[in-house]
Structure 1
Amino acid sequence: MLTPENTVIGFIGTGVMGNSMAGHFIKAGYPLIVYTRTKEKAKKLIDNGASWGETVNEIAEKANVIFTMVGYPSDVEEVYLGENGLIPNGKKGSFMIDMTTSAPSLAVKIYQAAKKKGIHVIDAPVSGGDIGARDAKLSVMAGGEKESFEAVQPLLEHLGTNIVYQGTAGSGQHTKMSNQIAIASNMIGVCEAIVYAQKAGLDPENVLKSIATGAAGSWSLSNLAPRMIKGDFEPGFYIKHFIKDMKIALEEAEHMKMEVPGLALAKSLYEQLAERGEENSGTQALYKYWM
């Protein structure tokens, strides 16, 4: 069993979500060593007791459980498989959990490389945004060997409330693609509903009272529509990262010979916003497409 007495947790990537996620391990009493490209982003964690790792290599050498929450599949590949990455420098018997939304095929590649070295790898992307990360109420979708998942599940419970084992390596990432496909079209509907209410002369906050708990209800309607109405477009999840996710999902659907017109439309709308300089805004900034 992985306890604070026998576990040193490494956390790589302390951005909008990673910072809160790593902080939960400090609160739970685990020794924590962190690394991120910009040390300033880890200042709060360091001030609260985390150690700083100068390199990914150092994290691999010092920690026996390592979480990663980075940006793009290229970042994941570098962190795990690069010359100075986690797999080449990791300890036999250690656990590595990638919570980045990445390509399912890359998750399988990392798993296979890790298995050769006796390292346990889980792909465990999450959903819930900055609020879920802050409140430790993320949904965690896990893929990998079931025994490895069961070993790290108590640690995942410090991060989320809906933790589901989905199957073999890559299954967590495939599940996250399903999640992103559902969100993509839903976000279009949420934005159109709010803009419609405004143009009809209604109070959109009052409209939400009627529709958010009915058949139209969704996480995006309850959590992101209020931000749209207030003009709050700060990122809980970056547009640039959502575009990355949608691109992965479109590529996977193409491999399955499946048409996903709703996803394709959402991606095109978000790309137009990114071209207008909104790539670092939160996904709720899709609202601005109609403004």
Structure 2
Amino acid sequence: MTQATTIGFIGTGVMGKSMCQHLLDAGYTVNVYTRTKSKAQALVTAGANWKDSVKEIATDSDVIITIVGFPSDVEEVYFGEKGIIEQAKTGSYLIDMTTSDPMLAETIAQKGKEKGLHSLDAPVSGGDVGAKNGSLTIMVGGQQDDYQAMLPIFNRLGSNVIRQGEAGAGQHTKMANQITIASNMIGVSEAIMYAKKSGLDPSSVLESISQGAAGSWSLRNLAPRMTEGDDRPGFYIKHFIKDMTIALSSAKRMGLLTPGLELSLELYQELEKRGEADSGTQALIKWYQTNVRHRD
């Protein structure tokens, strides 16, 4: 695809906004739609074309990228008389970058194929930082030829782009990613609390352990936010709960036990009940802060 390709972009939240801006900066013609128009205003000012509906995005674009909140949102924009699959031009490419259900990705691919459309599931990892830096990890499922055609676009958004297999493979890979993060966030939170309780400076401890065998993206990027009390979302708790729920459901279908995932989901659900749904995932530290045990 060349810069003459018109890209339709649906969803300009914490990550989508930066991703869309990278495509504009690369010289692509970009049509944009999101439920709350004000969230897209900066992109419109930067040169994106505002469209009033999913239907207008679908009919006026060659490539349609979606990154919305929940599987129900994906179903809403793709299916139905005014949805992407019914309205997109024959030969268009559909790229869902939402973290969603692998089975839903397979359904989109099948129904898209029946309409002469090329579908890829391509969830991302890297949070707000990765989106801003254009360094996202992009996990792709779909046909090899379709992946190759879209690779120039993916390379504008991420630095680690890998096709994992057929439709649904991208979503399954993202589930593996989220399962890893789920247990890791527990470990990061417990490490910080341990450092505090033992009288150490958590920031100094993090400087040491983030460079050793314990090093991870969460430790380097989210642990400092934990120590600073910064709950601003690079990734919302409500969306992480959604991801973990999908991963747990998929694991159960495969007969796989995931006790670490189950524990993490339980802790985050407790935080959601306390009103932390719109906080960043690093707010997990609050569970430990409010449940700390004191010794006499």
TM bucket (normalised to shorter chain) is over 0.9
Partner of 1:19: 17
Partner of 1:201: 199
What is the letter of the counterpart of residue 145 of structure 1?
Answer: Q
How many aligned positions are there?
289
1:167 to 165, 169, 172: 165
Q: Distance in 1 between matches of 2:72 and 2:96?
A: 13
1:65 aligns with 2:34: no
Partner of 1:42: 40
Partner of 2:29: 31
Partner of 1:149: 147
What is the letter of the counterpart of residue 90 of structure 1?
Answer: A
1:286 aligns with 2:250: no
Partner of 2:2: 3
Partner of 2:50: 52
What is the letter of the counterpart of residue 203 of structure 1?
Answer: D
Question: SS at 2:64's partner residue?
Answer: strand
1:290 is displaced (CA, Å) by 1.1
Q: Distance in 1 between matches of 2:42 and 2:156?
A: 19
Unaligned residue ranges in structure 2 (runs of 5+): 290-296
Q: How does 1:215-254 map to 2 (within 5 A)?
A: 215-254=213-252
1:82 is displaced (CA, Å) by 2.3
1:81 is displaced (CA, Å) by 1.1
Q: How does 1:99-178 map to 2 (within 5 A)?
A: 99-178=97-176
Question: SS at 2:274's partner residue?
Answer: helix
Q: Distance in 2 between matches of 1:104 and 1:247?
A: 13
Larger mean CA deviation between 260-269 and 76-85 belongs to 76-85
1:190 is displaced (CA, Å) by 0.2
1:4 is displaced (CA, Å) by 1.4
State percent identity of aligned pairs.
Answer: 60
Could you tell me the TM-score, scaled by structure 1's length?
Answer: 0.99
Q: Distance in 2 between matches of 1:151 and 1:203?
A: 50
Q: Distance in 2 between matches of 1:134 and 1:49?
A: 18
1:243 is displaced (CA, Å) by 0.2
Unaligned residue ranges in structure 1 (runs of 5+): none
1:83 is displaced (CA, Å) by 2.0
What is the letter of the counterpart of residue 195 of structure 2?
Answer: A
Could you tell me the TM-score, scaled by structure 2's length?
Answer: 0.97
Question: SS at 1:54's partner residue?
Answer: coil
What is the letter of the counterpart of residue 252 of structure 1?
Answer: S
1:200 is displaced (CA, Å) by 1.2
Question: SS at 1:278's partner residue?
Answer: coil
What stretches of structure 1 move > 3 A for 4+ residues in a row?
A: none
Q: Distance in 1 between matches of 2:176 and 2:67?
A: 19
